Amino acid sequence: MNSQYTIIIAGAGGIARAAGLMLAELSGVVPNLFILNRSLENAQKMAHWLQKGSSRGIQVECFELPEDEIPVRVREALESADILLDCLPGSQAPGMAQLAKDFNLHYANLTEYVSETETIKNLAADTGTGFLLQTGLAPGYIDVLGNHLFQTFCKRFNVEKADSIALKVGALTRHAVAPYYYGFTWSPVGVATEYLKDAVVIRDYKERTLPSLSERNRIIIDGKTYEEDLTSGGAADLPQSLSHKVRKLDYKTLRFPGHYAWVDEQLTLIGHSLHIVDELQQKMEDVIPHIEEDQIILYASVEGKDDKGARRKLEVSKKILPQKIGNHRLRTIQTTTAAPLLQSAMLLLESSAKGVILQSEIETADFLNGHFIKPIYGEIVLEL
């Protein structure tokens, strides 16, 4: 970012902290930063953490977001800002989007929640600012990468369609032990939700909905074996935008072998329940530890036939580890989620974008090699 913007971060958790620190350390011009959170104390703790962690210095102001009427001080902050970066839980996304619309702010969020995304698409259809949705790791980066591979495939092999697009991401620990072969590196409710909400896919060139955890396979990535299965949300809007162009498309979450079998056992014990997400989350949290040392494994591929009938495949894989930003060492899930959010913010602030912008509508090459993306994900060398 080469101009000084005023940026509101909604939330004060791990991703919000990473976004704030990366803005301070990686921006061309350090922005003014407002932290908006239900707990003023947590916002102030985040501000102290940012100021301690930044090597460049950053101006941070904290604001408490009330449940009902907006105080004058918060209103003045909203009126003076340029963009709202929503790092709150996905269930609160429509409320934050409405706030951005009411105060004529650009808006970007991270949530994989499908119904909340549809709500925001409707309310933001007529806005004079840009609303870039689902712009984290998955959904987010992985979808832009998959779309880039598809565009490259079509141009390189002189075709307009492909047989398959595969998108896979695993937020994993470095080690895994029986019986669950997993450790929490991000939100437990997010894990339980993606395991139980339906997955949107493409089958036979048509958008379809399938149950999560219903198409399990093994895959070897860079010589290591993982399990993969359908989960919800990670495909963003690609099933809509690429139907009729791709025979098969899906997003699958990567896990160490044995984890999904353990999840199946827990779901069998729970049985039919109106609160199955909460109950699975509780069963997982009862025994699975939270682990700081994490890694991200991602894989994307496009396969099909070229204009002469020969079968071709393009694929990209990455292994990303924790990284020091400023004076703090950030977990991989923090940097890989925050980087696409900040690249999206840069896109909105430095363009004339208006209305809803979905992952399929992002110019892929510029985004994937963008200012905030490259330090975290590295460069993508495939060219259109």
**Residue 34, strand partner residues:** 8, 61
Mean pLDDT, rounded, for 26-36: 94
For residue range 309-362, what is the model confidence (pLDDT) as tens digits?
999 999 999 999 999 999 999 999 999 999 999 999 999 999 888 999 999 999
Contact 67, 42 (CB under 8 A): no
Average pLDDT, the chain: 95
Domain residues for 295? 141-327
- DSSP state letter for 328: E
Residue 5 has pLDDT above 60, yes or no: yes
Q: Let me know the angle formed at the C-alpha of 198 by 192 and 202, rounded to the nearest 5 degrees.
A: 135
Question: Does some domain include residue 220?
Answer: yes
- In CATH, what number is assigned to the domain containing residue 145? 3.30.360.10
3-state DSSP helix/strand/coil percent for the chain, to nearest 5?
A: 35, 30, 35
CB within 8 A of 318, min separation 6: which ones?
296, 297, 298, 299, 377, 378
CB within 8 A of 198, min separation 6: which ones?
209, 210, 211, 212, 232
Q: Considering its fold, how many domains does the chain have in total?
A: 1
Question: Does some domain include residue 6?
Answer: no
Q: How many beta carbons lie within 10 A of that of residue 64, not counting itself? A: 17
Question: Does some domain include residue 320?
Answer: yes
pTM for the predicted model, two decimal places: 0.95
Q: For residue 382, name the pLDDT band (cuts at 50, 70, 90).
A: low
Collapsed DSSP state (helix, strand, coil) of residue 255: strand
Question: What is the residue whose two structure tokens read 């907006």?
Answer: 70
DSSP letters, 161-173, are -EEEEEEEEEEEE
For residue range 76-94, what is the model confidence (pLDDT) as tens digits?
999 999 999 999 988 899 9
Question: Does some domain include residue 43?
Answer: no
For residue range 128-172, what is the model confidence (pLDDT) as tens digits?
999 999 999 999 999 999 999 999 999 999 999 999 999 999 999
C-alpha to C-alpha distance for 236 and 241, rounded to whole angstroms: 10
Nearest C-alpha neighbor of 343 from the set 323, 357, 326: 357
Task: Provide the pLDDT for residue 1.
Answer: 67
Contact 313, 370 (CB under 8 A): no
Question: Does some domain include residue 119?
Answer: no
Contact 154, 313 (CB under 8 A): no
Question: Does some domain include residue 178?
Answer: yes
Q: For residue 7, name the pLDDT band (cuts at 50, 70, 90).
A: very high
